Amino acid sequence: MRGKFITFEGGEGAGKSTQIRYLATDLQRRGLEVVVTREPGGSAGAEAVRSVILSGAARDFGAAGEALLFSAARIDHIDQLIEPSLAAGKWVLCDRFADSTRAYQGVLGNLDTRLIQALEHVTLKGLKPDLTLMLDLDPKIGMARADARRGKSEAADRFESEGADFHKALRDVFRDIAAAEPARCVVIDASRTQGLVAADIITAVAKHFKLGDGDVVEEAMS
Ligand code: T5A
């Protein structure tokens, strides 16, 4: 049986990487085979593109140029990792996916919606997440978390270094995407403790896929 494809989206420092680990543990305890991956990246070719984009070297290409680079990386990621894993029955948990291109490059980069739709058509070839968890958080808190994790010696990356207005608008865009596709997206309040957020996510996933109650919910909350 084909596996399930779950994506995590949200602003910087919302806790996506942290929460993917909790969910992976829960699903593995249920006996499922899980693949954890991320975008940009997730395959050798896409990781190479990741370092180019996040270094800021492609900033001068503009939003359209960056959208093309994210899409090229996504094609390799889907071909090399996501599709083969789903075909083998594995559950794929992905830290960011096409909604990030819609939000960062599409809306905030002022690109024509038709360009983003055309890129999705070519890149995704019909692949769509079975579920998207939108981690919603005040960007001031998210950026403070990201700053604290990075430490003083490391510079902010290409998108972390955008201003406060950018990150505030980003939150609204992710909320709009979730509101437009309620059957696919669940908004999660990411302002609480890691354990409470994890419990919410595990409950949402269990409900969406009609899994039984996991024992990790209580553990995560304790
Ligand atoms: N991008 C990406 C595009 O522009 N277009 C695209 O198409 C795609 C795919 C990727 C960048 O590329 C952009 C978006 C991004 O700017 P990245 O390094 O992968 O760069 O950046 P993010 O995905 O934003 O990842 P972050 O690591 O910044 O954020 P996370 O994963 O949301 O947060 P996480 O889990 O690493 O947590 C951050 C810190 O907060 C703590 C953690 O311990 C950690 O220190 N934390 C909490 N603290 C308190 N309470 C909680 N509940 C906490 N949860 C986590």
Nearest CA to ligand 1 atom 37: 15
Atom of ligand 1 nearest to the CA of 70: 7
Residue with tokens 């960056």, as numbered in its chain = 66
**Amino acid in the structure at residue 154:** E
Q: Establish whether residue 73 lines the binding site of ligand 1, counting it when its CB lies within 6 angstroms of any ligand atom.
A: no
Q: Establish whether residue 18 lines the binding site of ligand 1, counting it when its CB lies within 6 angstroms of any ligand atom.
A: yes
CA 13 – ligand 1 centroid, Å: 4
Q: What is the mean pLDDT of residues 53-76?
A: 97
Radius of gyration of the chain, Cα coordinates, nearest whole angstrom: 17
CA 92 – ligand 1 centroid, Å: 18
- Whether this prediction's pTM lies above 0.75 is answered by yes
Q: Establish whether residue 100 lines the binding site of ligand 1, counting it when its CB lies within 6 angstroms of any ligand atom.
A: yes
Nearest CA to ligand 1 atom 44: 149
CA 17 – ligand 1 centroid, Å: 6
Q: What is the mean pLDDT of residues 143-156?
A: 88
- The confidence score (pLDDT) of residue 213 equals 64
Q: What is the mean pLDDT of residues 139-150?
A: 94
Of the candidates 109, 120, 119, the one whose C-alpha atom is nearest the C-alpha of residue 173 is: 109
Q: Is the confidence at residue 219, as pLDDT, over 60? A: no
CATH of the domain spanning 5-216: 3.40.50.300
Query: How far, in Å, CA of 202 to CA of 126, rounded?
Result: 26
Q: What is the mean pLDDT of residues 33-55?
A: 97
154 falls in which pLDDT band (50, 70, 90)?
confident
Q: Establish whether residue 15 lines the binding site of ligand 1, counting it when its CB lies within 6 angstroms of any ligand atom.
A: yes
Nearest CA to ligand 1 atom 16: 159
- The confidence score (pLDDT) of residue 208 equals 97
pLDDT digits (tens, 9 = 90+) for 11-32: 999 999 999 999 999 999 999 9
Q: What is the mean pLDDT of residues 46-51?
A: 97
Mean pLDDT, the chain, rounded, equals: 95
Q: Establish whether residue 193 lines the binding site of ligand 1, counting it when its CB lies within 6 angstroms of any ligand atom.
A: yes
Reduce the secondary structure of 6-74 to three states and give it as a string: EEEEECCCCCHHHHHHHHHHHHHHCCCCEEEEECCCCCHHHHHHHHHHHHCCCHHHHHHHHHHHHHHHH
CA 11 – ligand 1 centroid, Å: 7
pLDDT digits (tens, 9 = 90+) for 160-186: 999 999 999 999 999 999 999 999 999
Q: Establish whether residue 104 lines the binding site of ligand 1, counting it when its CB lies within 6 angstroms of any ligand atom.
A: yes
Q: What is the mean pLDDT of residues 74-96?
A: 98
CA 1 – ligand 1 centroid, Å: 31
Nearest CA to ligand 1 atom 52: 194
Domain extents for the chain? 5-216
